[in-house]
């Protein structure tokens, strides 16, 4: 199928797509900050440069777009109809790189959680899962120690 948008317009559209500070990532960051968690962003020393890093807990969170990272069984991860060979190589390459990064982090003793863009549709459930993954905040730990 031929692309319905001219190459110059398509190029301009693609140039605006960011790899960091995406809307899903900002949503997760705001959610966790409001809950009392503190983190580092895009730590380049770690494999895959996780979106959020909780170094003292040795936990990392990646926020993935369903399309760009080929989320299995997700309707947002459809293959484009134009330039199919290019997109197949590109998206499968992204998925393979993600797998290598996750494996390297796990071998280094890190716990990882991947947030998929589609999970943001049910924020309450996602927030509960993230809190369970991360454990108590520093404030919660401090308050609990008062009663020991």
Q: How far is CA 59 from CA 10, 74, 75, 99, 105, in A?
A: 37, 26, 29, 17, 9
- pTM metric for this prediction: 0.85
Rounded Cα–Cα distance for residues 84 and 143 (Å):
55
Per-residue pLDDT of the chain (148 residues; tens, 9 = 90+): 566 777 777 666 666 666 678 999 999 999 999 999 999 999 999 999 999 999 999 999 999 999 999 999 999 988 888 888 988 999 999 999 999 999 999 999 999 999 999 999 999 999 999 999 999 987 877 776 666 6
Q: What backbone phi and psi angles, to 5 degrees, belong to 103?
A: -60, -45
The dotted CATH code for 19-145 is 3.40.960.10
Contact (Cβ atoms closer than 8 angstroms) between residue 31 and residue 127: yes
Coil, strand or helix at 12: helix
Tell me the domain boundaries of the chain. Answer: 19-145
């Amino acid at each position: 199928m031929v692309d319905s948008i001219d190459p110059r317009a398509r190029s301009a559209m693609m140039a605006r797509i960011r790899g960091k500070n995406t809307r899903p990532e900002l949503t997760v960051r705001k959610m966790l900050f409001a809950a009392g968690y503190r983190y580092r962003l895009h730590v380049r020393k770690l494999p895959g440069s996780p979106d959020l890093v909780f170094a003292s807990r040795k936990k990392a969170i990646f926020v993935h777009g369903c399309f760009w990272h080929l989320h299995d069984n997700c309707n947002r991860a459809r293959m484009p109809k134009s330039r199919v060979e290019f997109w197949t190589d590109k998206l499968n390459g992204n998925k393979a790189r993600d797998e290598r990064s996750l494996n390297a982090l796990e071998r280094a003793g890190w716990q990882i959680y991947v947030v998929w863009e589609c999970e943001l549709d049910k924020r309450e459930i996602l927030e509960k899962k993230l809190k369970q993954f991360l454990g108590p905040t520093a404030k919660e730990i401090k308050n609990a120690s008062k009663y020991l």
